[in-house]
């Protein structure tokens, strides 16, 4: 019989994982992670850090140096034309009857994460997939934003080019107004300041925008107001935007 592919959630921050673990992961998820010897991960060093934290709450099935970890960062240029071969090789432990864990760098595997290709390949091979409970920065941000949680869309990363970024933001605003739909996206943390400045310059004063940073961490910060209110806050507190520099964040708007 084939093994089961377990989708193992990770913490949303890489600092003080031991303190975070019990706050963001159920004990059943922690116990399952401790029982897995075979893994597909984005980064083995990060994965070992997570499992070290797990080991403080559950006994690992074997020493970490005996675990079999394969790294997978998605089908980039180096994988073009070879995706099926690579994925089947990565999933071979499952075909040999072993359970295997899929871990993202942060949050949930396969959500805003290249692990979706692994899951899809597992289904094609007839492998059972089990998603375990853990934190999603996208859903936490949506919950905390006060925006429409009945209809929403996630767009990954917006264009880096300034003109293209402005155009994308205006299109999202129009789509949000037309459908009464919350729009979500993420950004590389060092571009947070530029993203917020562009939003405030490009969007209608009555459009509601939210920035949710460091979700589930002690430094969590969420602000959800109209563009006009954001602009007023920044006049009173000029360092507000810069304070979000280099902090993982989710961006939302509702027109």
Per-residue pLDDT tens over the stretch 39-67: 999 999 999 999 999 999 999 999 999 99
Beta bridge partner(s), residue 182: 152
- Check: CB of residue 117 under 8 Å from CB of residue 21: no
Where, residue-wise, is CATH 3.40.1010.10 in the chain? Answer: 4-131
Rounded CA separation 161/55 (Å)? 44
Residues in the chain: 255
Question: Which pLDDT belongs to residue 79?
Answer: 45
One CATH from 3.40.1010.10, 3.30.1120.130, 3.40.50.460, 3.40.50.12160 for 4-131: 3.40.1010.10
d(CA 31, CA 61): 10
- Residue numbers in the chain where pLDDT is lower than 50: 77-85
- What secondary structure letter does DSSP report for 152? E
Considering the domain 137-254, what is its CATH architecture?
2-Layer Sandwich (3.30)
SS3 category, 114: coil
What stretch(es) of the chain map to CATH 3.30.950.10? 137-254
CA neighbor of 139 nearest in space, from 209, 215, 195: 215
Report the predicted TM-score, pTM, of the whole model to 2 decimal places: 0.89
Please tell me the predicted confidence (pLDDT) of residue 84.
47
What's the confidence (pLDDT) of residue 76?
57
Check if the beta carbon of residue 36 is closer than 8 Å to that of residue 8.
Answer: yes
Rg of the chain's alpha carbons, rounded to an integer? Answer: 20
Predicted pLDDT at 204: 97
């Amino acid at each position: 019989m084939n093994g089961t592919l377990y989708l193992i959630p990770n913490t949303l921050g890489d600092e003080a994982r031991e303190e975070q673990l019990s706050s963001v992961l159920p004990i059943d998820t922690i116990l399952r992670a401790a029982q897995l010897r075979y893994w597909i991960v984005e980064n083995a060093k990060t994965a070992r850090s997570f499992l070290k934290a797990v080991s403080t709450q559950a006994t690992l099935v074997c020493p970490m140096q005996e675990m079999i970890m394969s790294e997978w960062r998605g089908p980039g240029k180096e994988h073009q034309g070879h995706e099926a071969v690579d994925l089947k090789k990565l999933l071979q432990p499952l075909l040999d009857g072993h359970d295997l864990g899929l871990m993202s760098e942060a949050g949930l595997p396969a959500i805003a994460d290249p692990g979706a290709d692994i899951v899809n390949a597992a289904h094609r091979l007839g492998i059972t997939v089990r998603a375990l409970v853990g934190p999603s920065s996208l859903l936490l941000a949506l919950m905390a934003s006060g925006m429409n949680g009945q209809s929403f869309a996630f767009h990954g990363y917006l264009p880096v080019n300034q003109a293209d970024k402005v155009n994308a933001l205006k299109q999202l605003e129009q789509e949000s107004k037309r459908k009464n739909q919350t729009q979500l996206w993420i950004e590389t943390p060092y571009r947070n300041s530029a993203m917020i400045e562009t939003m405030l310059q490009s969007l209608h004063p009555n459009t509601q925008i939210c920035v949710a940073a460091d979700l589930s961490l002690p430094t969590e910060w969420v602000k959800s107001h109209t563009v006009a209110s954001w602009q007023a806050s920044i006049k009173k507190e000029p360092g507000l935007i810069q304070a979000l520099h280099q902090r993982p964040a989710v961006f939302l708007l509702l027109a």
